[in-house]
Structure 1
Amino acid sequence: MTTNLTFLGAAGTVTGSKFLLDAEGRRILVDAGLFQGDREWRRRNWQPLAVPPSTIDAIVVTHAHLDHCGFLPVLVREGFSGPVVCSRHTAQLIEIVLRDAAHIQEEEARWARESQLSKHAEPRALFDTADAEAALKLLEVLRPGETLDLGDDVRVDLHRGGHILGSRFAVVGREGARMLFSGDLGRPDHPLLLPPEKPGPVDHVVVESTYGDRAHEGNPVEELVAALDHTLARGGVALLPAFAIDRTPLLLRVVRDLVSAGRIPNVPVYVDSPMALTALAVYREALADRGDQEFRRELLVGGDPFDTGRLTLVPGPVESEQLNDPSHPCIVISASGMATGGRVLHHLEHQLPHRRNCVILTGYQVPGTRGRALADGAREIKIHGGYVPVRAEVANIRGFSAHADASQVVAWLRDLPEPQTAYVVHGEPSAAEALAGRLRSQLWWTAVVPRYEERVRIA
């Protein structure tokens, strides 16, 4: 039986993960992510998929980040009606992510109409709340150790990925055409989560390369201490744009440990993101389940691992507005992590012009995002239709990433029997080429960097 694979996203760029497996009689999409970053990629979110969504039998989602699940509402609206297979925690987090994304897009479309700054006569959201709710009805949980038969001997099983709570790498296909999709691969030293499980034999590998050309160097905790210490000492606000899923609880854990050790002042810490608050509740609920096999054991002792001592969870817009210009030194953690939307934009608008403040970036910044512009030294950035001067200090701390670096990816793959082909995806072109080179030179594998919409025969 002929089996083909088409790269409908995360090829030539680091977002928009979509991999279509055509296995004579079965059509399976692995991940359904949004393109983010540069406009040329974001525009592809509005283009029809290469195949009618109604012809896709099932979708497998590796984890709940928007660039892996955010296109689901569009596919459902356009005719997809099959199961969306994922882990239990991924299902819980996808509910949060899609509802938040729909709300933000509806608000941005409303603002564009009212401000009349849009180039479009009738600005609209890519998807709305009704689309998101329709997608959520299709979620189907696959539990640890289970294998799901999708029909015609096409099977899927999921294994712990260690990237965020619920993240999995997926093995999909028939005997002789089994494919491993890494999703976003976690680090073996993630402060909260257990490392990725070891992969078993497969015929082909699709592996991410976000950090395919670099190593996690330096000591991110020491860099954070330095940035916080001198910002708070001069009476400033330390603003941390942070991904609501995983990065916010990770940062709370680090700040808690630093306060307990007396390494930074015990100042108020605010979490200002509705999505982050709801996701934090999922993390706490999962921790309370002592049988959960995702968290490191040390998190299960010593009280709430996320309570810094003076932690305030900011519920509503009124309280959020008060953080635009606080009258005291404090730490504000707010989404989104790349400053593409959400409450953090209002804080940036008010705090970037003041030299006493510091914006601390703690995650990968996709090209074309405001976060990337700040990391690259922009002196002004555009927010809500106008330009804001960047006078605040900007600290770009790369070491908190939840992605495995190049050496960690190679080490994870090393024990795998040589597959026929490794397809290197989900990276900027230079990063993908670098990782493919390492797989060739260190593992002697056939490694390919596929093009966007390239189609290959795998069996």
Structure 2
Amino acid sequence: MSDAQQGSRPAALSAARRASVRYRTSPWPGRLHVTGHQAALYPDPVLTFLGGAGCARCLLETPASKLLVGCGLFAGPDALWRRNFSPGPDELHALDAVVLPSAGLGHAGFLPQLVAEGWHGPVFATPGTAALLPVVLADAAKQFEEDSARWCPSGPAVPPFRAEDVARAVALVRPVEFGTLRQLDGAALEFGRSGGRLGAAWVRIRAGGRSVVFAGPLGAAGHPLLRPPDPRPRSDVLVLAAPQPPGDSHLPGRFAAAVHRAVRRGGSVVVPAAAAGAELLLTMVRDLTDAQQIPPLPVLLDSPAGLAGIEVHRRALAERWPELRQDGRVGLPDRLIEQVPDRPSIIVAGLATADSGRVLGHLTRMLPDPRNGVVVLGHPEPGTRAAQLADGVRQLKIHGHYVPVRAEVTALGATGEFAGPGEALAWASATPAPETAFVVEGEPVPAHAFAKALRAEAGWCAVVPEDGERVLC
């Protein structure tokens, strides 16, 4: 984008706002849902859900600034995934700052592309997120680049971003400690611990006498490494991620059983997993091996930056970061290898959705062989390849070819890192109710179910927003 083009954007956006004034009455008394581009005319901050409930991109506009909370990639069916390869909407190019709740691709994966399109403002994140962000984004850039060299049905594939875009994006990050008030133009920003992932935070933004809290997936109280979330602060509006079903306390045993079945058949096990998040999986593998619940198998962490993420967690433990449990630990299997062996093994590779990344090469090789096994952790987004495998498909389309699924697929559900609906409801309702709560970042069914629970059990005004919906805060 040229300097002239960048300079013309604010004027173009202002003209668009003047030209398109549309609003509709909210179904909740006393609230107005703005659906046009006239935010500057309203004294209250205006919140826009760019992607609706399915993507972590919330634009908060005040008379003095435009802040984007969450800058994530879309996950889901092909039509939704392809939105990651399109330029960002004009609203994003006029931002004054980006706020990252965590380093995961669902919260930060679009940032390098936004920077590649010419945006270069400040990015605020916790120190933990700032430490993990280069690992996660570099890992994704490498895997996207490898994917782009393969067959694409619509012609030559272009990755959403490259390594040089990641370097420019990371250079914009300004760490903010938990509990520290950061003054911005016309607004104040504060991070609180949300758990689940190192550095993950809820975000409170105060502007114009109003306050909004953004809370991504909350960590479980029994997380083996991280402390529970900080209490929810009071706010006029709460934007809350839809929780997934709670974790299964029998998951390590079920994982061990899946490994034993594959080993008895003479096969290997592949686990789709992200670079940030593999630390608990690898620690579980080591614990199961030490307890002789699984045989001492070679373990391949096929992630360009996976080991770097492990080292960030080890440094956090050594330096006693306050978000960590005192008794938490991260362990690596003793037989960690760098190449695919010719004997039974455990392979951990990303992306966790299996929609991109090195895991696709392992699935292409291993799915046709009934000796092998695939373990799907968590609750993958509907339409992703991981979700298709968990749902029992008999063939999977990878890089233009259908691959038969003869390997045993074991869907283990939630890993226990994140709070279930009961915990999330207790966390939210422990503080006086906001005027409105918006449930985002989840599949439609659990999002609507959680909004219904907030209405029925807490008496809240709770809404699942639509894609592009705008509301007054």
**TM-score normalized by structure 1?**
0.89
What is aligned with 2:158? 124
What is aligned with 1:249? 279
State the Cα distance separating 1:148 from its structure 2 match. 0.6
Once the two structures are superposed, the pairs formed by residues 42-121 of structure 1 within 5 Å of their partners are 42-112=81-151, 117-120=152-155
2:45/2:208 contact within 8 Å kept? no
Alpha-carbon distance between aligned partners in 2 of 1:276 and 1:241, rounded to the nearest angstrom: 13
Alignment counterpart, residue 139 of structure 1, candidates 173, 176, 180: 173
Once the two structures are superposed, the pairs formed by residues 133-282 of structure 1 within 5 Å of their partners are 133-152=167-186, 154-174=187-207, 176-211=209-244, 214-217=245-248, 219-246=250-277, 248-282=278-312
What is aligned with 1:299? 328
Greater displacement, 98-107 / 42-51:
42-51
State the Cα distance separating 1:48 from its structure 2 match. 4.6
Alignment counterpart, residue 395 of structure 1, candidates 391, 406, 410: 410
Whether 1:377 and 2:419 are equivalent positions in the alignment is no
What SS is found at the alignment partner of 1:397?
A: strand
Alpha-carbon distance between aligned partners in 1 of 2:127 and 2:365, rounded to the nearest angstrom: 39
What SS is found at the alignment partner of 2:423?
A: helix
State the Cα distance separating 1:165 from its structure 2 match. 0.9
State the Cα distance separating 1:434 from its structure 2 match. 0.3
What SS is found at the alignment partner of 1:149?
A: strand
Structure 1 137/307 Cα, relative in aligned 2: closer, same or farther at 3 Å? closer
What is aligned with 2:444? 429
1:65/1:245 contact within 8 Å kept? yes
Deviations 1:130-178 (A, max 9, x none): 32222111111001231110112x0111111112111111111226311
State the Cα distance separating 1:396 from its structure 2 match. 0.3
Structure 1 50/386 Cα, relative in aligned 2: closer, same or farther at 3 Å? closer
Alpha-carbon distance between aligned partners in 1 of 2:127 and 2:295, rounded to the nearest angstrom: 38
Structure 1 249/313 Cα, relative in aligned 2: closer, same or farther at 3 Å? farther
Once the two structures are superposed, the pairs formed by residues 307-326 of structure 1 within 5 Å of their partners are 307-308=332-333, 310-314=334-338, 319=339, 323=340, 326=341
Structure 1 33/417 Cα, relative in aligned 2: closer, same or farther at 3 Å? same
State the Cα distance separating 1:218 from its structure 2 match. 5.8
Alpha-carbon distance between aligned partners in 1 of 2:160 and 2:349, rounded to the nearest angstrom: 24
User: Which structure 2 segments of 5+ residues have no match?
Assistant: 1-42
Task: Give the aligned residue type for 1:174.
Answer: A
State the Cα distance separating 1:104 from its structure 2 match. 2.6
1:20/1:28 contact within 8 Å kept? yes
Structure 1 223/205 Cα, relative in aligned 2: closer, same or farther at 3 Å? same
State the Cα distance separating 1:296 from its structure 2 match. 2.0
Greater displacement, 255-264 / 393-402:
255-264
Alpha-carbon distance between aligned partners in 2 of 1:72 and 1:327, rounded to the nearest angstrom: 39
What SS is found at the alignment partner of 2:198?
A: coil
Greater displacement, 218-227 / 388-397:
218-227
What SS is found at the alignment partner of 1:298?
A: coil
Alpha-carbon distance between aligned partners in 1 of 2:294 and 2:148, rounded to the nearest angstrom: 41
Structure 1 405/339 Cα, relative in aligned 2: closer, same or farther at 3 Å? same
Structure 1 398/78 Cα, relative in aligned 2: closer, same or farther at 3 Å? same
Sequence identity percentage? 37
Structure 1 383/57 Cα, relative in aligned 2: closer, same or farther at 3 Å? same
What SS is found at the alignment partner of 2:305?
A: helix
Alpha-carbon distance between aligned partners in 1 of 2:346 and 2:78, rounded to the nearest angstrom: 32
State the Cα distance separating 1:360 from its structure 2 match. 0.8
State the Cα distance separating 1:393 from its structure 2 match. 0.5
2:77/2:384 contact within 8 Å kept? yes
Alpha-carbon distance between aligned partners in 2 of 1:399 and 1:3, rounded to the nearest angstrom: 36
1:155/1:173 contact within 8 Å kept? yes
What SS is found at the alignment partner of 1:328?
A: coil
**TM-score normalized by structure 2?**
0.87
State the Cα distance separating 1:379 from its structure 2 match. 0.8
Whether 1:20 and 2:59 are equivalent positions in the alignment is yes
User: Which structure 1 segments of 5+ residues have no match?
Assistant: none
Task: Give the aligned residue type for 2:44.
Answer: T
Once the two structures are superposed, the pairs formed by residues 350-365 of structure 1 within 5 Å of their partners are 350-365=365-380
Alpha-carbon distance between aligned partners in 1 of 2:99 and 2:391, rounded to the nearest angstrom: 35
Task: Give the aligned residue type for 2:282.
Answer: L
What is aligned with 2:33? none
Alpha-carbon distance between aligned partners in 2 of 1:75 and 1:239, rounded to the nearest angstrom: 33
State the Cα distance separating 1:12 from its structure 2 match. 4.2
Greater displacement, 99-108 / 77-86:
99-108
State the Cα distance separating 1:288 from its structure 2 match. 1.4
Alpha-carbon distance between aligned partners in 2 of 1:108 and 1:236, rounded to the nearest angstrom: 26
1:362/1:401 contact within 8 Å kept? no
Across the two proteins, how many residue pairs are aligned to each other? 431
State the Cα distance separating 1:265 from its structure 2 match. 1.8
1:219/1:399 contact within 8 Å kept? no
What SS is found at the alignment partner of 2:402?
A: strand
